[in-house]
Amino acid sequence: ARDWAVLLLLYGCGMRVSEATGLTGDVLPLGQTLRVTGKRNKTRIVPLLDNVREAIEGYLELCPYPPAKGEPLFRGSRGGPLSPALIRRAVQGARKRLGLPEKTTPHALRHSFATHLLAGGADLRSLQELLGHASLSSTQIYTAVDTAMLLDEYENAHPRA
């Protein structure tokens, strides 16, 4: 339940591993948004999808360590903060079970979040805010991915490509 909740956070909110492991009981009770502290202690607000919220709440119901303000939300088996290595291992296990490529890493889930939002019509400024990028140039890399996907679809679908 813990691993599922963390993986949904990475993809569903575009969070970095350090941001997910940095969440504390201060975020409770969960609402429609989540305050995330990212690189350089920059804080941003991200929408919290219903299924992500339900996964976190499901984990908290099963967790033997009650959440407390200032304490890690996601805990290891002994009650300490969840290790980023455990998150990487969870992604690796999911990757093997689902037959996903080796490139599927925790950070790749964040990239998928951004790419899917952009492909769905999100504008770059909104995406920049959701990802917590300091500059727009960091976010613009996703336009190249989107263009590559469009060209690939064109070549596969156009009768004269």
> Residue 73: phi, psi to the nearest 5?
-75, -45
| Tokens read off for 102 | 């080796």
> Residue 82: phi, psi to the nearest 5?
-65, 135
Q: Which residues contact 113 (CB under 8 A, 6 or more apart)?
A: 10, 11, 12, 13, 14
**pLDDT truncated to tens, each residue of the chain (161 aa)?**
999 999 999 999 989 899 999 999 999 999 999 999 888 888 888 999 999 999 999 999 999 999 999 999 999 999 999 999 999 999 999 899 989 888 888 888 888 888 887 777 777 777 777 777 666 666 666 666 656 666 677 677 777 66
> What's the predicted TM-score (pTM) here?
0.78
Question: 107 an active-site residue?
Answer: yes
Question: 39 an active-site residue?
Answer: yes
Instruction: Write down the catalytic residue from 2, 44, 53, 110.
Output: 110
Instruction: Write down the catalytic residue from 2, 44, 59, 142.
Output: 142
Question: 110 an active-site residue?
Answer: yes
123 three-state secondary structure:
coil
Instruction: Write down the catalytic residue from 2, 44, 53, 133.
Output: 133
Pick the CATH number of 2-157 from 3.40.50.720, 1.10.287.610, 1.10.443.10, 3.10.20.30: 1.10.443.10
Question: 97 an active-site residue?
Answer: no
Instruction: Write down the catalytic residue from 35, 39, 42, 125.
Output: 39
> In the chain, where are the structural domains located?
2-157
Instruction: Write down the catalytic residue from 96, 107, 125, 154.
Output: 107
Beta carbons of 122 and 131 less than 8 angstroms apart: no
